[in-house]
Amino acid sequence: MTGQVIAGFLAAALLLPGRPASASMMEDQGWSKEDKALALNVGTGILALGWGVWSWDWGTGGPRFQDEGWFGRSTTEGGADKIGHAWTGYAISHLLARQYQSWGFTQTDSARYGALSSLGIMGLVEVGDAFSDDYGFSYQDMLFNTVGAVAGYILWDNPELARKVDFRVEYNPFSGGDKYQADVFTDYRRLKYLIAVKADGFDAIQDPLLRHLEFHVGFYARGYEDYSTNPSRDDRSQYFYLGIGLNLTRLLSPHVKTGGVFHYIQPPYTYISKDWRIAP
């Protein structure tokens, strides 16, 4: 769980517009692209380790493993946390691949190194969890970290596929009642995850209105936070949904660039959906 939180913060930081000051500093010092990549990975690793020791008491126990389960209704978050790990691994792989490509790496190398860096970051924080009394190394989390990194590699290295498909997360602050968690990356009562298939990516679709639309396949879980504090009331539920949404990148072009935030974030109330509760 802590791994997703740390990596989520890293993803959020990298999603911010503009270039980090450290990147400009490295260019001013005449660093090679390989030196920049090494420094980025070492610095990110140190940041993750420092945050984990300070915030989650890494080093207080272990090493130990923790079996969190998969998508069973009785798991801690009904599987939403696993998809969250996949999305975080995916987002980090793309964000780092974008940075590598800006430094002069080829698209294929950027995709490869972005995926490997994502695996390294997420793996490092899982190892940190192993040395905590509260958590533990979860092989389920690590598997979905890997799934996300591999998806990131495939989509970055195949622009034609990326034109058609996005992997996104939605956070709706107006749902889930009035009890907020400290970070949005584990506030599962307000999170949804989805694959968006964009009409704009298919040249055979010529109608200008249809090209502004996209098809959504999503998953979310609800009631798990309430159950953890009040087990006598069990409203835990998992949902699958299909939807039709607006392609905001196309709709807001040229003010929003291709490859920007709306390829990773789904704003609420920008689609209609049909939801089905998954039977326990």
Q: What is the DSSP letter of 278?
A: E
C-alpha to C-alpha distances, 191 to 2, 159, 187, nearest whole angstrom: 17, 27, 7
Average pLDDT of span 61-68: 80
For the chain, the structural domain boundaries read 1-157, 160-280
d(Cα 203, Cα 34) in Å, to the nearest integer? 38
- The C-alpha R_g of the chain, in whole angstroms, comes to 19
Query: What's the half-sphere exposure (Cβ side, CA atoms, 13 Å) at 39?
Result: 14
Supply the DSSP symbol for 61.
S
Pairwise CA distance, residues 186 & 81, whole Å = 7
- Residue 122 scores a pLDDT above 70: yes
For position 18, what pLDDT does the model report?
Answer: 47
Percent of the chain with pLDDT over 90: 54
Report the pLDDT value the prediction gives residue 280, as an integer from 0 to 100.
Answer: 64
- Separation between Cα atoms, residue 200 and residue 100, nearest integer Å: 27
Average of per-residue pLDDT across 98-113: 95
Band the pLDDT of 4: cuts 50, 70, 90.
low
Token readout for 125 is 């924080």
Q: How many CB atoms lie within 10 A of CB 21?
A: 8
Write down the pTM of the prediction. Answer: 0.88
Closest to 68 (Cα-Cα) out of 49, 84, 54: 84
What residue has token string 């092989």? 139
* Amino acid type, 188: Y
70: enclosing H helix or E strand? none
Give the model confidence (pLDDT) of 223-245 as tens digits.
Answer: 888 777 777 888 899 999 999 99
* 136 or 100, which is more confident: 100
Give me the pLDDT at residue 239, please. 96
Mean pLDDT is lowest, of 160-174, 209-223, 245-259, for: 245-259
pLDDT of 9? 55
Q: Which of 10-19, 30-39, 55-64, 188-197 has the lowest mean pLDDT?
A: 10-19
